[in-house]
Protein backbone atom coordinates (compact mmCIF):
# COMPACT_ATOMS: atom_id res chain seq x y z
CA UNK A 1 0.00 0.00 0.00
CA UNK A 2 1.23 3.52 -0.83
CA UNK A 3 2.51 5.40 2.19
CA UNK A 4 1.71 8.97 3.26
CA UNK A 5 4.82 9.52 5.40
CA UNK A 6 8.03 7.54 5.64
CA UNK A 7 10.94 8.40 7.92
CA UNK A 8 14.20 6.50 7.49
CA UNK A 9 16.90 6.62 10.19
CA UNK A 10 16.20 10.29 10.91
CA UNK A 11 18.80 11.94 13.12
CA UNK A 12 18.85 15.63 14.05
CA UNK A 13 21.88 17.27 15.63
CA UNK A 14 22.18 20.61 17.37
CA UNK A 15 25.57 22.31 17.67
CA UNK A 16 26.24 24.40 20.79
CA UNK A 17 29.12 26.78 21.22
CA UNK A 18 29.84 27.40 17.52
CA UNK A 19 30.25 30.92 16.15
CA UNK A 20 26.51 31.20 15.35
CA UNK A 21 25.79 30.92 19.08
CA UNK A 22 28.62 32.99 20.53
CA UNK A 23 29.18 35.59 17.81
CA UNK A 24 32.10 36.14 15.46
CA UNK A 25 34.17 38.27 17.87
CA UNK A 26 33.93 35.73 20.70
CA UNK A 27 34.70 32.95 18.21
CA UNK A 28 38.02 34.53 17.20
CA UNK A 29 38.92 35.33 20.83
CA UNK A 30 38.37 31.72 21.86
CA UNK A 31 40.31 30.44 18.86
CA UNK A 32 43.27 32.68 19.76
CA UNK A 33 43.26 31.50 23.38
CA UNK A 34 42.72 27.82 22.47
CA UNK A 35 39.44 27.90 24.37
CA UNK A 36 37.11 27.11 21.48
CA UNK A 37 34.88 24.06 21.90
CA UNK A 38 31.86 22.86 19.99
CA UNK A 39 29.45 20.41 21.55
CA UNK A 40 27.01 18.16 19.75
CA UNK A 41 23.53 17.31 20.96
CA UNK A 42 21.45 14.73 19.09
CA UNK A 43 17.78 15.56 19.60
CA UNK A 44 16.73 12.50 17.57
CA UNK A 45 18.78 9.46 16.61
CA UNK A 46 17.89 6.85 13.97
CA UNK A 47 14.10 7.27 14.06
CA UNK A 48 12.17 5.27 11.44
CA UNK A 49 8.45 4.77 10.79
CA UNK A 50 5.92 4.47 7.96
CA UNK A 51 2.32 5.72 7.92
CA UNK A 52 -0.40 4.83 5.44
CA UNK A 53 -3.31 7.16 4.54
CA UNK A 54 -5.80 7.21 7.42
CA UNK A 55 -3.23 6.25 10.08
CA UNK A 56 -3.01 8.25 13.28
CA UNK A 57 0.43 8.13 14.87
CA UNK A 58 0.65 8.96 18.56
CA UNK A 59 4.14 10.00 19.70
CA UNK A 60 4.89 9.47 23.38
CA UNK A 61 7.90 10.32 25.51
CA UNK A 62 8.97 12.49 28.40
CA UNK A 63 10.01 16.12 27.99
CA UNK A 64 13.22 16.30 25.97
CA UNK A 65 12.54 13.01 24.17
CA UNK A 66 12.78 14.67 20.73
CA UNK A 67 9.07 14.63 19.83
CA UNK A 68 8.66 18.25 18.72
CA UNK A 69 11.98 18.22 16.87
CA UNK A 70 10.88 15.17 14.91
CA UNK A 71 7.61 16.92 13.97
CA UNK A 72 9.59 19.85 12.58
CA UNK A 73 11.51 17.45 10.33
CA UNK A 74 8.27 15.81 9.14
CA UNK A 75 6.74 19.26 8.51
CA UNK A 76 9.74 20.36 6.45
CA UNK A 77 10.77 23.09 8.88
CA UNK A 78 14.04 21.31 9.64
CA UNK A 79 16.27 19.14 7.45
CA UNK A 80 17.54 15.97 9.18
CA UNK A 81 21.27 15.84 9.81
CA UNK A 82 21.17 12.20 8.76
CA UNK A 83 18.47 10.08 7.17
CA UNK A 84 15.41 11.37 5.33
CA UNK A 85 11.66 11.99 5.53
CA UNK A 86 9.35 11.54 2.53
CA UNK A 87 5.93 13.18 2.85
CA UNK A 88 3.23 12.76 0.21
CA UNK A 89 0.46 15.32 0.48
CA UNK A 90 -0.41 18.77 1.78
CA UNK A 91 0.46 19.31 5.45
CA UNK A 92 -1.38 21.36 8.05
CA UNK A 93 0.85 21.50 11.13
CA UNK A 94 0.10 23.00 14.54
CA UNK A 95 3.48 22.90 16.25
CA UNK A 96 3.17 26.02 18.40
CA UNK A 97 0.01 27.70 19.61
CA UNK A 98 0.59 31.10 18.01
CA UNK A 99 2.62 30.02 14.97
CA UNK A 100 1.34 31.52 11.72
CA UNK A 101 -0.67 34.24 13.49
CA UNK A 102 -0.10 37.98 13.93
CA UNK A 103 -1.00 39.26 17.39
CA UNK A 104 -2.01 42.71 16.12
CA UNK A 105 -4.42 41.38 13.48
CA UNK A 106 -8.01 40.44 14.20
CA UNK A 107 -9.38 36.91 14.37
CA UNK A 108 -10.93 37.39 10.90
CA UNK A 109 -7.67 38.68 9.39
CA UNK A 110 -5.65 35.91 11.01
CA UNK A 111 -7.96 33.22 9.66
CA UNK A 112 -7.25 34.42 6.12
CA UNK A 113 -3.54 34.88 6.88
CA UNK A 114 -3.24 31.33 8.20
CA UNK A 115 -5.13 29.98 5.20
CA UNK A 116 -2.77 31.82 2.83
CA UNK A 117 0.26 30.37 4.63
CA UNK A 118 -1.23 26.91 4.13
CA UNK A 119 -1.52 27.63 0.40
CA UNK A 120 -5.26 28.26 0.05
CA UNK A 121 -6.87 30.95 -2.11
CA UNK A 122 -9.05 33.77 -0.81
CA UNK A 123 -12.04 32.26 -2.61
CA UNK A 124 -11.53 28.97 -0.78
CA UNK A 125 -11.22 30.74 2.58
CA UNK A 126 -14.37 32.79 1.81
CA UNK A 127 -16.27 29.51 1.49
CA UNK A 128 -14.76 28.02 4.67
CA UNK A 129 -14.57 31.08 6.93
CA UNK A 130 -18.00 30.86 8.59
CA UNK A 131 -17.52 27.14 9.22
CA UNK A 132 -14.11 27.76 10.78
CA UNK A 133 -15.39 30.46 13.12
CA UNK A 134 -18.46 28.43 14.11
CA UNK A 135 -16.38 25.34 14.94
CA UNK A 136 -13.94 27.48 16.97
CA UNK A 137 -16.90 29.08 18.77
CA UNK A 138 -15.52 32.58 18.13
CA UNK A 139 -18.52 34.24 16.48
CA UNK A 140 -18.45 37.08 19.04
CA UNK A 141 -14.69 37.66 18.76
CA UNK A 142 -14.12 38.02 15.00
CA UNK A 143 -12.96 41.65 15.20
CA UNK A 144 -10.86 41.19 18.34
CA UNK A 145 -7.06 41.24 18.08
CA UNK A 146 -5.46 37.81 18.25
CA UNK A 147 -3.16 38.78 21.15
CA UNK A 148 -6.25 39.59 23.25
CA UNK A 149 -7.55 36.02 23.04
CA UNK A 150 -7.06 33.45 25.77
CA UNK A 151 -4.80 30.46 25.07
CA UNK A 152 -7.89 28.27 24.74
CA UNK A 153 -9.40 30.58 22.10
CA UNK A 154 -6.13 30.65 20.15
CA UNK A 155 -5.99 26.88 20.23
CA UNK A 156 -9.59 26.58 19.02
CA UNK A 157 -8.96 28.89 16.09
CA UNK A 158 -5.72 27.14 15.11
CA UNK A 159 -7.27 23.68 15.33
CA UNK A 160 -10.40 24.76 13.44
CA UNK A 161 -8.40 26.20 10.54
CA UNK A 162 -6.12 23.16 10.33
CA UNK A 163 -9.03 20.69 10.32
CA UNK A 164 -11.45 22.50 8.04
CA UNK A 165 -9.08 23.43 5.19
CA UNK A 166 -8.95 19.78 4.07
CA UNK A 167 -5.28 18.79 4.51
CA UNK A 168 -3.82 15.43 3.47
CA UNK A 169 -1.69 15.28 6.62
CA UNK A 170 -2.54 16.87 9.97
CA UNK A 171 0.17 17.29 12.62
CA UNK A 172 -0.77 18.32 16.16
CA UNK A 173 1.73 19.08 18.93
CA UNK A 174 -0.13 19.23 22.28
CA UNK A 175 -2.91 21.28 20.67
CA UNK A 176 -5.71 18.98 21.86
CA UNK A 177 -4.55 19.46 25.45
CA UNK A 178 -5.53 23.14 25.43
CA UNK A 179 -9.07 24.41 25.95
CA UNK A 180 -12.00 23.27 28.02
CA UNK A 181 -13.20 19.69 28.29
CA UNK A 182 -16.17 20.18 25.97
CA UNK A 183 -14.02 21.52 23.14
CA UNK A 184 -11.43 18.76 23.64
CA UNK A 185 -14.16 16.16 23.17
CA UNK A 186 -15.43 18.00 20.09
CA UNK A 187 -11.89 18.19 18.69
CA UNK A 188 -11.26 14.48 19.26
CA UNK A 189 -14.54 13.60 17.53
CA UNK A 190 -13.59 15.85 14.59
CA UNK A 191 -10.16 14.21 14.38
CA UNK A 192 -11.74 10.76 14.19
CA UNK A 193 -14.03 11.92 11.36
CA UNK A 194 -11.03 13.38 9.51
CA UNK A 195 -9.05 10.15 9.82
CA UNK A 196 -11.97 8.16 8.42
CA UNK A 197 -11.78 10.31 5.29
CA UNK A 198 -8.19 9.13 4.67
CA UNK A 199 -6.26 12.02 6.21
CA UNK A 200 -3.06 10.93 7.96
CA UNK A 201 -2.47 12.34 11.44
CA UNK A 202 0.39 12.70 13.90
CA UNK A 203 -0.41 13.59 17.49
CA UNK A 204 2.03 14.50 20.26
CA UNK A 205 0.38 14.52 23.66
CA UNK A 206 1.24 13.94 27.31
CA UNK A 207 -2.33 12.66 27.71
CA UNK A 208 -1.96 8.91 27.38
CA UNK A 209 -5.74 8.66 27.28
CA UNK A 210 -5.77 10.70 24.05
CA UNK A 211 -3.04 8.53 22.55
CA UNK A 212 -4.90 5.36 23.49
CA UNK A 213 -8.24 6.61 22.18
CA UNK A 214 -7.14 8.16 18.89
CA UNK A 215 -4.01 6.40 17.64
CA UNK A 216 -3.70 3.41 15.33
CA UNK A 217 0.09 3.37 15.70
CA UNK A 218 2.44 4.63 18.37
CA UNK A 219 6.06 5.84 18.40
CA UNK A 220 7.91 5.89 21.73
CA UNK A 221 10.94 8.16 22.04
CA UNK A 222 13.29 8.51 25.00
CA UNK A 223 16.12 11.06 25.00
CA UNK A 224 16.07 11.09 21.20
CA UNK A 225 16.27 7.31 20.93
CA UNK A 226 13.50 5.26 19.36
CA UNK A 227 12.22 2.74 21.88
CA UNK A 228 9.63 1.26 19.53
CA UNK A 229 7.25 1.89 16.65
CA UNK A 230 4.21 -0.34 16.88
CA UNK A 231 0.57 -0.86 15.96
CA UNK A 232 0.02 -2.42 19.41
CA UNK A 233 -1.08 0.87 20.93
CA UNK A 234 -2.55 -0.51 24.17
CA UNK A 235 0.45 -2.66 25.03
CA UNK A 236 2.94 0.09 24.23
CA UNK A 237 1.01 2.67 26.27
CA UNK A 238 0.79 0.22 29.19
CA UNK A 239 4.56 -0.25 29.07
CA UNK A 240 5.09 3.51 28.83
CA UNK A 241 2.93 4.16 31.90
CA UNK A 242 4.98 1.55 33.78
CA UNK A 243 8.12 3.38 32.63
CA UNK A 244 6.73 6.65 34.04
CA UNK A 245 6.45 4.92 37.43
CA UNK A 246 9.73 2.97 37.48
CA UNK A 247 11.84 5.30 35.27
CA UNK A 248 13.42 2.19 33.71
CA UNK A 249 13.39 2.25 29.90
CA UNK A 250 12.95 -1.04 28.01
CA UNK A 251 15.78 -2.40 25.88
CA UNK A 252 13.64 -4.47 23.50
CA UNK A 253 10.25 -5.98 22.75
CA UNK A 254 10.53 -8.55 25.55
CA UNK A 255 10.99 -5.74 28.07
CA UNK A 256 7.98 -3.90 26.61
CA UNK A 257 5.83 -7.04 26.92
CA UNK A 258 6.99 -7.55 30.52
CA UNK A 259 6.42 -3.91 31.49
CA UNK A 260 2.93 -3.91 29.95
CA UNK A 261 2.02 -7.04 31.95
CA UNK A 262 3.44 -5.51 35.15
CA UNK A 263 1.36 -2.36 34.58
CA UNK A 264 -1.82 -4.43 34.22
CA UNK A 265 -0.95 -6.33 37.41
CA UNK A 266 -0.34 -3.01 39.19
CA UNK A 267 -3.76 -1.71 38.05
CA UNK A 268 -5.45 -4.92 39.21
CA UNK A 269 -3.82 -4.62 42.66
CA UNK A 270 -4.83 -0.97 42.98
CA UNK A 271 -8.41 -1.82 42.01
CA UNK A 272 -8.55 -4.67 44.53
CA UNK A 273 -7.14 -2.43 47.27
CA UNK A 274 -9.69 0.27 46.48
CA UNK A 275 -12.57 -2.23 46.60
CA UNK A 276 -11.27 -3.66 49.88
CA UNK A 277 -11.05 -0.17 51.34
CA UNK A 278 -14.63 0.58 50.29
CA UNK A 279 -15.85 -2.70 51.80
CA UNK A 280 -14.11 -1.94 55.09
CA UNK A 281 -15.67 1.53 55.08
CA UNK A 282 -19.16 0.03 54.63
CA UNK A 283 -18.59 -2.53 57.42
CA UNK A 284 -17.41 0.21 59.77
CA UNK A 285 -20.56 2.22 59.05
CA UNK A 286 -22.71 -0.83 59.75
CA UNK A 287 -20.89 -1.45 63.05
CA UNK A 288 -21.51 2.13 64.12
CA UNK A 289 -25.20 1.84 63.15
CA UNK A 290 -24.95 4.61 60.53
CA UNK A 291 -27.45 2.85 58.29
CA UNK A 292 -28.17 5.75 55.90
CA UNK A 293 -24.47 6.38 55.26
CA UNK A 294 -23.88 2.64 54.79
CA UNK A 295 -26.70 2.37 52.24
CA UNK A 296 -25.31 5.38 50.33
CA UNK A 297 -21.83 3.84 50.35
CA UNK A 298 -23.20 0.50 49.07
CA UNK A 299 -25.01 2.25 46.20
CA UNK A 300 -21.81 4.14 45.33
CA UNK A 301 -19.75 0.95 45.50
CA UNK A 302 -22.19 -0.90 43.21
CA UNK A 303 -22.54 2.06 40.90
CA UNK A 304 -26.29 2.32 41.25
Look at strands 225-230 and 217-222 and give their pairing.
antiparallel
What does the pLDDT look like over 32-90, one tens digit per residue? Answer: 777 767 778 899 999 999 999 999 999 999 999 999 999 999 999 899 999 999 999 98
Q: Where are the alpha helices (DSSP H) in the chain?
A: 19-22, 24-32, 67-75, 107-117, 122-136, 151-164, 181-196, 208-214, 233-246, 253-287, 291-302
- Indicate the SS3 state at residue 197: coil
For residue 57, what is the enclosing H or E element?
A: strand 56-60
- Indicate the SS3 state at residue 247: coil
**Cβ neighbours of residue 278 under 8 Å, at least 6 residues apart?**
297, 300, 301
- 253-262 burial code (b ≥16 CB/10 A, e <16): eebbeebbee
What value, to the nearest 5°, has the Cα angle with vertex 170 and ends 236 and 210? Answer: 35
Please report the pLDDT score of residue 17 as a whole number. Answer: 62
CB 229 within 8 A of CB 222: no
Per the confidence metrics, is the pTM higher than 0.75?
yes
d(CA 129, CA 120): 12
Please report the pLDDT score of residue 126 as a whole number. Answer: 94
CB 61 within 8 A of CB 220: yes
Please report the pLDDT score of residue 108 as a whole number. Answer: 95
What does the pLDDT look like over 157-188, one tens digit per residue? Answer: 988 888 877 789 989 887 666 566 777 788 88
What does the pLDDT look like over 79-107, one tens digit per residue? Answer: 999 999 999 998 888 776 566 789 999 99
Beginning with the edge strand found earlier in the chain, give each strand of the sheet holding 200-204 in spatial order.
82-87, 5-16, 39-51, 225-230, 217-222, 56-60, 200-204, 169-173, 91-94
What does the pLDDT look like over 224-260, one tens digit per residue? Answer: 999 999 999 999 999 999 999 999 999 999 999 999 9
Q: Which of 156, 166, 174 is nearest to 92 (CA)?
A: 166
Is the pLDDT at 19 greater than 60, yes or no?
no
Under DSSP, the state recorded for 42 is E
Amino acid sequence: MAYAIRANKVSIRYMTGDFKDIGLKEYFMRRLTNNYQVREFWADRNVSFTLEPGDMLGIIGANGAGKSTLLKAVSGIMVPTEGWVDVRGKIAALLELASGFDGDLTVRENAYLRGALLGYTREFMDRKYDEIIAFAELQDFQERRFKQLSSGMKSRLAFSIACLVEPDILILDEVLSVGDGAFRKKSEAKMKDILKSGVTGILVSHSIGQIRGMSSKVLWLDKGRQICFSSEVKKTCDAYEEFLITKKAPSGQKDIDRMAAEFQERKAREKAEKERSEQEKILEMLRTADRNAAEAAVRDFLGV
